[in-house]
Amino acid sequence: VHQRNVAEALLVAGVTLADPARIDVRGSLECGRDVFIDVNCVFEGDVTLADNVSIGPNCVIRGASIGAGTRVDAYTHIENAAVGANAVLGPYARLRPGAKLADEVHVGNFVEVKNANIGLGSKANHLSYVGDADVGAGVNIGAGTITCNYDGANKHRTIIEDNVFVGSDTQLVAPVRVGRGVTIAAGTTVWKDVPEATLALNEKTQIAKTGYVRPVRKKN
């Protein structure tokens, strides 16, 4: 009965619910104008959705604020985080406590953000972990990037300044600072500070061996 009453109150306030019978509000949900909430979403604690926010199906949002015009796609989990305006999250994104996203940030599928600030218009679209980090504006974080924040005893921060391009499969071993305008080549392990406007890479030699024969499976 309580959930039905909550759903009816949201509808009266102008919120669009894909199915009023399939929403679960376990705390306080404050919505602006023209908010859309798809089915099977769970809201816990104090949650604020600003104007024109769209929440996809099967999302869990706990103790968070989401700015105007932001789209949250399916199966995204947000906990004790703040999201700016016109951001795009998910599907399958996870914002853990302390995540603070500025306007127009993209956090895509299977990206986890924890105790990190991400600046205006920065993007981490695929398969990355951004933890204990300060990311500037206009940064592109390639697929498979990891901030290596834990040394086995203590957590350390990674600082990525504005307009950095982080290539795929990069490991940033904290504490480390990447200067403004840096390009990091794919597959690089960064363990020292990188001066601004430089290219960071680990030199490797690619070898193509001729005459190689693949192993053959032995028959029983």
97 Cβ partners below 8 Å, 6+ apart?
79, 80, 81, 114, 115
Q: Which of 2, 77, 106, 126 is catalytic?
A: 126
The Cα 179–Cα 192 span in angstroms is 11
Do 116 and 99 contact (CB within 8 A), yes or no? yes
Which residues share a beta bridge with 171? Answer: 146, 189
The Cα 106–Cα 96 span in angstroms is 15
Cis peptide before 175 (omega within 30 of 0): yes
Q: What residue has token string 């990447």?
A: 178
95: phi then psi, degrees, rounded to nearest 5: -110, 115
In one-letter notation, the amino acid at residue 34 is D
| 3-state secondary structure at position 194 | strand
Which residues share a beta bridge with 72? Answer: 55, 89
Q: What residue has token string 């305008």?
A: 181
126 catalytically annotated: yes
Q: List the structure tokens of 17.
A: 């619910």
Do 106 and 90 contact (CB within 8 A), yes or no? no
Active-site annotation, residues: 126
